[in-house]
């Protein structure tokens, strides 16, 4: 993309911006006949909803990482979007993200910025994406992520669910996605963290932390919870319905 074709609301960056969306999971904790990313959330397939949220005018390309036995992708509008390319995922989320980054790096230089965003977070607001990009880029940090400070009192439990300790929460955050890094650095960090730490690489930031850098935590101001269990599904549906009704009443007034 040339600078003259970058939309005016685009955050300033020194490279084009890519997005990688891991969507190769099976959604065991939610359940249902098909994987959760293909179930309809307030009448729109969750993966399509997530992609509609991240395929912003200032995003160059989106890589969607699908399960090897995926049978549903071709039914989505996103499958015919020229900005979107796909690959297949791996056993852990981190393997799937790494596959997506490797495909991206066949088409883009190592220093290209990438946002990794879960298919299972369909509520992400454009305003929070822009805040993340701007905060990370302006801070000079090697990368960063949306997150929320922990507000509940935290307990450490023993193996019988007895509370043994109250953990000081003042500097604890819950990590979300998108997580933003330079793609080549993220590939190297994921490869080495997967080798040495395996299943404890639960997000991109953890891989970067293992490689010795400190990603910037940027507070998400809008709802962006992950759809994991049926209660999350119900909450997200209620939120989307309320938004739709509010939109209708504003149009009528």
* Interface segment toward ligand CTP; rule CB under 6 A; list 3-11, 17-25, 123-131, 231-239: 17-25
Query: Of 135 and 201, which has the nearer Cβ to ligand CTP?
Result: 201
Which positions from 110 through 129 interact with ligand CTP, judged by CB under 6 A? 118-120
- Which does residue 118 touch among Mg ion, ligand CTP, none (CB within 5 to 8 A, set by kind)? ligand CTP
Cβ proximity to ligand CTP, 192 vs 228, nearer residue: 228
User: For ligand CTP, which stretch binds (CB under 6 A), given 23-31, 103-111, 151-159, 189-197?
Assistant: 23-31
Considering only 9, 26, 107, 126, the residue that binds ligand CTP (CB under 6 A) is 26
Binding mask 24-43 for Mg ion (x = CB under 5 A): -x------------------
Distance CA 227, CA 218 (A): 21
Per-residue 3-state assignment (H helix, E strand, C coil) for the chain: CCHHHCCCCCCCCCCCEEEEEEECCCCCCCCCCCCHHHCEECCEEHHHHHHHHHCCCCCCEEEEEECCCCCCHHHCHHHHCCCEEEEECCCCHHHHHHHHHHHHCCCCCCCCEEEECCCCCCCCCHHHHHHHHHHHHHHCCCEEEEEEECCCCEEEECCCCCEEEEECCCCCEEEEEEEEEEHHHHHHHHHHHHHHHHHHCCCHHHHHHHCCCCCEEEECCCCCCCCCCHHHHHHHHHHHHHHHHHHHHHHHC
Q: What is the CA radius of gyration of the chain?
A: 19
Residue 108 interaction partner, one of Mg ion, ligand CTP, none, beta carbon < 5-8 Å per kind: none
Strands 173-182 and 143-149: antiparallel
Residue 53 found at the interface with ligand CTP (CB under 6 A): no
Q: Is 37 in the site for ligand CTP (CB under 6 A)?
A: yes
Nearer to Mg ion, 47 or 108 (CB): 47
Closest to 21 in 3D by CA, of 91, 113, 99: 99
Residue number with the shortest CB distance to Mg ion? 25
- Decide: is 176 part of the binding site for ligand CTP (CB under 6 A): no
Question: Is the Cβ of residue 25 or residue 144 nearer to Mg ion in the bound state?
Answer: 25
**Which positions from 178 through 237 interact with ligand CTP, judged by CB under 6 A?**
226, 228
Choose the binding region for Mg ion from 17-25, 126-134, 142-150, 211-219 (rule: CB under 5 A): 17-25
Output the smallest distance, CB 21 to ligand CTP, in A.
7
Q: Which residue is nearest to ligand CTP (CB)?
A: 25
Single out the residue of 164, 178, 156 nearest to residue 97, CA to CA: 178
Binding site for Mg ion (CB under 5 A): 25
Binding site for ligand CTP (CB under 6 A): 22-29, 37, 65, 89-93, 96, 118-120, 226, 228
């Amino acid at each position: 993309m040339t600078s003259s074709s970058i939309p005016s609301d685009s955050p300033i960056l020194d490279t084009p911006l890519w997005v990688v969306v891991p969507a190769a999971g099976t959604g065991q904790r939610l359940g249902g006949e098909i994987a959760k990313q293909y179930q309809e959330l307030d009448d729109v397939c969750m993966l399509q909803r997530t992609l509609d949220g991240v395929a912003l005018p200032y995003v160059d390309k989106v890589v969607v990482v699908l399960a090897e036995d995926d049978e549903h992708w071709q039914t989505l509008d996103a499958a015919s979007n020229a900005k979107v390319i796909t690959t297949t995922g791996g056993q852990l989320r981190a393997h799937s993200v790494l596959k997506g980054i490797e495909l991206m790096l066949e088409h883009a230089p190592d220093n290209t910025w990438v946002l990794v965003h879960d298919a299972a977070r369909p509520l992400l607001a454009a305003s929070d994406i822009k805040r993340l990009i701007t905060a990370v880029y302006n801070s000079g940090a090697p990368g960063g992520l949306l997150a929320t400070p922990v507000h509940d009192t935290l307990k450490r439990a023993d193996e019988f669910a007895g509370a043994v300790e109250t953990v000081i929460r003042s500097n604890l955050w819950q990590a979300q996605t998108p997580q933003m890094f330079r793609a080549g650095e993220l590939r190297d960090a994921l490869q080495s963290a997967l080798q040495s730490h395996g299943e404890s690489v639960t997000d991109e930031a953890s891989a970067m932390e293992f490689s010795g850098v400190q990603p910037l935590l940027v507070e998400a101001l809008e709802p962006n919870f992950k759809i994991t269990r049926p209660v999350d599904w119900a909450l997200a549906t209620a939120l989307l319905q309320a938004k739709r009704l509010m939109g209708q009443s504003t149009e009528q007034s």
